[in-house]
């Protein structure tokens, strides 16, 4: 390690210990009820008040929105901007304008995102990133360019070739373009040290999210998935430092909370990586007798699977993490046929799950086209699964509750 | 009472030749196991036909199989077969028609068996579904797969980084794989020779498509256009046969222009051109002739279409360049229509409406194809706003007969034609007929 790198690493550690450059301002008392209520409030707020407060707290602050599944939020953070995850409108947003932009056979998330945009709820954003996930989100980037001409809009492509010298070089260049664009937007350079600092901050956050998931997998009665969901979702609008603190606080209080153990089976939920299901769907799965022990909600928080090194070239480090140590999902190409679905089988094993619930958004090409292949992989390992579709605004949960309940019963009865 | 057979369609000579070229390709595929010819499956947009010819591969294009099956009314059962096997009703019907065909014995549209490919070349251009499609068929064929990731033109331009990425993949991954699977060494001069033929064919195709600027238009650039683009979009681009075909097609159309004739429809020459339209989106294949009839019966001619650019956009100047053989392949892949962003597509469609002096833009929105369809309602408004010409919106599907409602489509088209007529008379407000 060079002297310069040693110094940089030490600086970053020092910054982390002092809470980095962002002063935390969490608005809850450190008890379970308050933490969950705070997250629920953030979740329910379709006007992004928390984001507005952050922006108004200091003149010149800027905010960049991003859609699922993954963008390197470190670059936004390094520019001093707030990354905000736009996860659609859920089941509480009345979509009036958004439906006029789409045919009946297109999924819900672009409609509600447009609704949020045209009703001014996203005015707080200075830019939007549309990651490479599917043709609908891809085309939404062009719609955004046509509809919101005064905003920074970028389709963010990620490589489907995982060679450092091929896909890696392309990806580093794409990230560099983003870095240059953001530097123009904020009016100052984004240095390597800025990026290293942000990588470290996000490493902390990823660690905290992983701890939360591990905590739930170990004792799912102690961390209901409704709470885990809200906690992770809070990370879509909070500054990352505050979100990390929030997770740590929750873990501390949840560990000592006495909660009854139910005779539930343990399941992994798969397919929910883009359009988010109604909150009631998560509740319904749990009420039907299933503990969710792993899922692919808001994968951006768990995309990179290992700590990203903070020494060396930061963009190269982010690239290597993406190419070699990132999560699997339908939006990614799997070059090795034998590895198709392996991540789900691993998840079942690592989390002692007993089955998989495939919950795919209606009209979601990635999730629904991937599903039969994943099911074949599971069937080969005798892992039980069930499947259904949802929309972010689905109101009727009874069929889902019944299906999940039957699945849970079948596991308990026949998988012993 | 026995069902009355439909009358035989009247076709131009070029259409007959095109049909025979496509049939020959199916025959070559059928014979491949006997002739020991290696087979590659690859997609239409961003296909690397010239490169594949350098390795003597027979080329199988799944979209062509699906649409040919649809025109023969076979895809309904294939799609249901795939749905019975667990595929969602919501997803692309090209994919399900392909999987259903495989499940039913992999008999191609001409009734001849399709061979198991030696290689799946996934040219991931302009359509996310392609990636999942080949992952799905890979599971069945258990053959090697090569992936060419073509980045999307999110900002409406091809950047040096995008080009370099594609070139690198071609040089370091795709070409070595093709060499290994085929056992043929790559010869760049052979590629140059094919690219020269491509450029010749492209030049003639552009002339033919642009002949629709004449009044009356000698061609229908959508329904007729799909025949014209058949060879160049599929396994013939780069071949001498394709270059000859387009030279012949051009002569045929030149003659029609000289005589002031309109397009040839399945029921003969169109007597009068009443409406000139630009069409966005692929056609419906299961009711192709019925669909076309709704236009020519009303005297409506399609003078420009985006679908005839899905396998390559040539009318804005791009030609395959033999002097830069690998880079030109990259530019070709990056420039296919569905790889263009929406503002770029809006520019193109508006330009078509203006330059071809069209009465307006009609969108045939395809349920199966998010790549085309997501955002089309905004495109419609944008083109209307820029050109001042009325637009209309209809919905069908590529190869799923369940999503072709003839009465609805006809009704909307008739309303649209009525609207154009009224607008010409100066008493109709601008607004979509959808």
Handedness of CA A81, A87, A93, A99 (dihedral sign): positive
- Tally of structural domains, chain B: 1
Instruction: For residue B242, tell me if it sits in a domain.
Output: no
> Does residue B276 belong to any structural domain of this protein?
no
- Residue B94 inside a domain? The answer is yes
CA distance A263 to A269: 18
pLDDT value at residue A15? 44
Q: Is residue B124 part of a domain?
A: yes
Phi, psi of B366 (to 5 degrees): -100, 120
With beta carbons less than 8 A apart as the criterion, state whether A244 and A285 touch: no
Q: Give me the domain span that covers residue B155.
A: 13-187
Q: What is the pLDDT of residue B433?
A: 54
In a domain, B324, yes or no: no
Q: How many domains does chain A have?
A: 1
DSSP symbols for A28-48: S-SSHHHHHHHHHHHHH-TT-
Mutate to test the interface with B, among A100, A111, A159, A161 (most CBs of B within 10 A): A161
For residue A346 the two structure tokens come to: 């691993």
- Average pLDDT along chain A: 93
Answer yes or no: is pLDDT of A288 > 70.
yes
Q: A6 or A256: which carries more pLDDT confidence?
A: A256
In which band, very low, low, confident or very high, does the pLDDT at B8 lie, cut at 50, 70 and 90?
confident
Residue A376: cis peptide before it, omega within 30 degrees of 0: no
Structural domain boundaries enclosing A218: 3-414
Q: Are the Cβ atoms of B342 and A110 closer than 8 angstroms? A: no
Q: How far is B386 from chain A (nearest CA, A)?
A: 13
Say what the pLDDT of residue B15 is.
83
pLDDT digits (tens, 9 = 90+) for B163-177: 999 999 999 999 999
Average pLDDT of the residues in B234-261: 96
Q: Return the residue of A nearest to B82 by Cα.
A: A372
Q: Which pLDDT value is given to residue B3?
A: 55
Name the residue with tokens 């088209």.
B413
Residue B362 in any domain: the answer is no
- Average predicted confidence (pLDDT) for chain B: 95
Model confidence over A220-249: pLDDT tens digits? 999 999 999 999 999 999 999 999 999 999
In a domain, B384, yes or no: no
- Range B225-249 average pLDDT: 96
A376/B151 touch (CB, cutoff 8 Å), yes or no = no
pLDDT (tens digit per residue) in B197-228: 999 999 999 999 999 999 999 999 999 999 99
Would you say B418 and B305 are in contact if contact means Cβ atoms under 8 Å apart? no
**To the nearest whole percent, how much of chain B has pLDDT over 90?**
91
Taking contacts as CB-CB distances below 8 angstroms, the residues of chain A near B365 are: 103
> Measured between CA atoms, how close is A213 to chain B, in angstroms?
29
- Whether residue A79 has pLDDT greater than 70: yes
Where residue B107 sits, what CATH number does that domain have?
3.40.50.11890
Residue B395 φ/ψ, nearest 5 degrees: -125, 125
- Please report whether residue B366 resides in a domain: no
**What band does A17 get if pLDDT is binned at 50, 70 and 90?**
very low
- Give the pLDDT of residue A372: 96
Whether A7 has a pLDDT exceeding 90, the answer reads no
The nearest CA of chain B is from the CA of A15 a distance in Å of: 35
Contacts of A146 in chain B (CB under 8 A): 342-343, 346, 378, 382
> How much is the ipTM here?
0.95
Task: Compute the distance between CA of residue A62 and CA of residue A82 in angstroms, rounded to an integer.
Answer: 7
B5 pLDDT more than 90:
no
With contacts defined as CB-CB under 8 Å, which chain B residues touch A173? 161
Weakest mean pLDDT among A209-213, B274-278, B425-429? B425-429
pLDDT band at B12 (very low <50, low <70, confident <90, very high): confident
């Amino acid at each position: 390690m060079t002297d310069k790198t040693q110094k940089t690493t030490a600086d970053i550690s020092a910054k982390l210990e002092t809470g980095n450059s962002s002063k935390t301002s969490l608005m809850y008392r450190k008890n379970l009820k308050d933490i969950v209520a705070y997250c629920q409030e953030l979740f329910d707020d379709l006007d992004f008040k928390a984001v507005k407060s952050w922006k108004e707290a200091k003149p010149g602050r800027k905010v960049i929105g991003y859609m699922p599944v993954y963008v390197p939020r470190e670059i936004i953070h390094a520019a001093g901007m707030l990354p905000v995850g736009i996860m659609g409108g859920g089941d509480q947003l009345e979509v009036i304008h958004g439906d006029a932009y789409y045919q009946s056979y297109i999924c819900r998330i672009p409609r509600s995102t447009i609704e949020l945009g045209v009703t001014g709820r996203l005015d707080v954003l200075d830019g939007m990133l549309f990651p490479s996930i599917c043709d609908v989100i891809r085309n939404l980037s062009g719609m955004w360019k046509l509809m919101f001409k005064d905003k920074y809009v970028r389709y963010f492509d990620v490589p489907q070739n995982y060679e450092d010298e091929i896909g890696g070089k392309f990806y580093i260049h794409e990230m560099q373009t983003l870095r240059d664009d953001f530097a123009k937007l904020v009016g100052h350079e984004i240095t390597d040290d800025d990026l290293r600092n942000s990588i470290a901050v996000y490493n902390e956050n990823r660690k905290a999210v992983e701890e939360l998931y591990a905590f739930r997998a170990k004792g799912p009665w102690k961390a209901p998935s409704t709470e885990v969901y809200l906690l992770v979702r809070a990370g879509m609008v909070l500054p990352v430092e505050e979100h990390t603190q929030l997770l740590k606080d929750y873990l501390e209080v949840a560990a000592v909370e006495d909660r009854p153990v139910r005779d539930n089976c343990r399941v992994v939920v798969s397919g929910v990586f883009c359009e988010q299901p109604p909150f009631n769907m998560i509740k319904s799965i749990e009420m039907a007798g299933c503990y969710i022990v792993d899922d692919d909600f808001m994968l951006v928080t768990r995309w990179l699977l290992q700590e990203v090194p903070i020494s060396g070239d930061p963009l190269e480090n982010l690239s290597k993490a993406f190419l070699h140590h990132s999560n699997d999902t339908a939006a990614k190409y799997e070059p090795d046929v034998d590895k198709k679905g392996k991540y789900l089988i691993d998840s079942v094993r690592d989390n002692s799950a007993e089955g998989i619930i495939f919950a795919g958004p209606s009209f979601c090409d990635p999730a629904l086209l991937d599903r039969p292949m994943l099911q074949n992989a599971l069937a080969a390992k005798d892992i039980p699964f069930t499947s259904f579709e949802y929309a972010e605004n689905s109101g009727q949960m009874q069929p889902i509750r019944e299906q999940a309940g039957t699945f849970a019963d079948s596991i308990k009865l026949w998988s012993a | 009472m026995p069902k009355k057979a439909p009358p035989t369609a009247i076709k131009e000579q070029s259409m007959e030749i095109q049909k025979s070229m496509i049939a020959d390709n199916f025959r070559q595929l059928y014979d491949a196991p006997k002739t020991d010819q290696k087979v590659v499956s690859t997609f239409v947009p961003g296909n690397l036909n010239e490169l594949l010819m350098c390795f003597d591969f027979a080329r199988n294009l799944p979209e062509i199989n699906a649409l040919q099956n649809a025109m023969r009314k076979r895809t309904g059962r294939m799609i249901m077969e795939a749905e019975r096997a667990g595929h969602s009703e919501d997803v692309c019907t090209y994919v399900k028609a392909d999987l259903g065909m495989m499940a039913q014995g992999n008999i191609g549209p001409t009734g001849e068996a399709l061979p198991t490919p030696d290689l799946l070349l996934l040219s991931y251009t302009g359509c996310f579904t392609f990636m999942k499609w080949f992952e799905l068929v890979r599971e069945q064929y258990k053959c090697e797969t090569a992936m060419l990731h073509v980045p999307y033109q999110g900002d409406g331009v091809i950047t040096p980084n995008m080009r370099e990425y594609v070139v690198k993949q071609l040089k370091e991954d795709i070409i070595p794989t093709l060499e290994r699977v085929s056992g043929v060494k790559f010869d760049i001069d052979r590629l140059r020779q094919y690219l020269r033929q491509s450029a010749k064919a492209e030049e003639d195709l552009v002339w033919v498509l642009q002949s629709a600027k004449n009044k009356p238009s000698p061609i229908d650039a959508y329904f007729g256009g799909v025949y014209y683009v058949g060879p160049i979009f599929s396994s013939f681009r780069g071949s001498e046969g394709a270059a000859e075909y387009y030279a012949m097609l051009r002569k045929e159309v030149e003659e029609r222009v000289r005589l002031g004739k309109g397009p040839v429809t399945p029921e003969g020459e169109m007597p009068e051109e009443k409406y000139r339209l630009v069409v966005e989106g692929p056609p419906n294949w299961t009711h192709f002739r019925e669909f076309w009839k709704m236009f020519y019966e009303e005297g409506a001619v399609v003078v420009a279409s985006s679908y005839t650019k899905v396998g390559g956009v040539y009318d804005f100047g791009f030609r395959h360049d033999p002097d830069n053989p690998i880079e030109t392949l990259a530019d070709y892949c990056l420039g296919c229509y569905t790889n263009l962003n929406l503002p770029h597509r809006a520019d193109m469609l508006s330009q078509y409406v203006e330059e071809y002096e069209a009465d307006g833009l009609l969108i045939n929105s395809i349920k199966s194809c998010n790549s085309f369809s997501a955002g089309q309602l905004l495109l419609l408004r944008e083109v209307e706003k820029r050109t001042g010409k009325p637009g209309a919106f209809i919905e069908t599907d590529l190869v799923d007969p369940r999503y072709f409602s003839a009465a609805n489509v006809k009704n909307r088209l008739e309303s649209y034609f009525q609207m154009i007529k009224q607008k010409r008379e100066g008493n109709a407000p601008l607004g979509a007929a959808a």
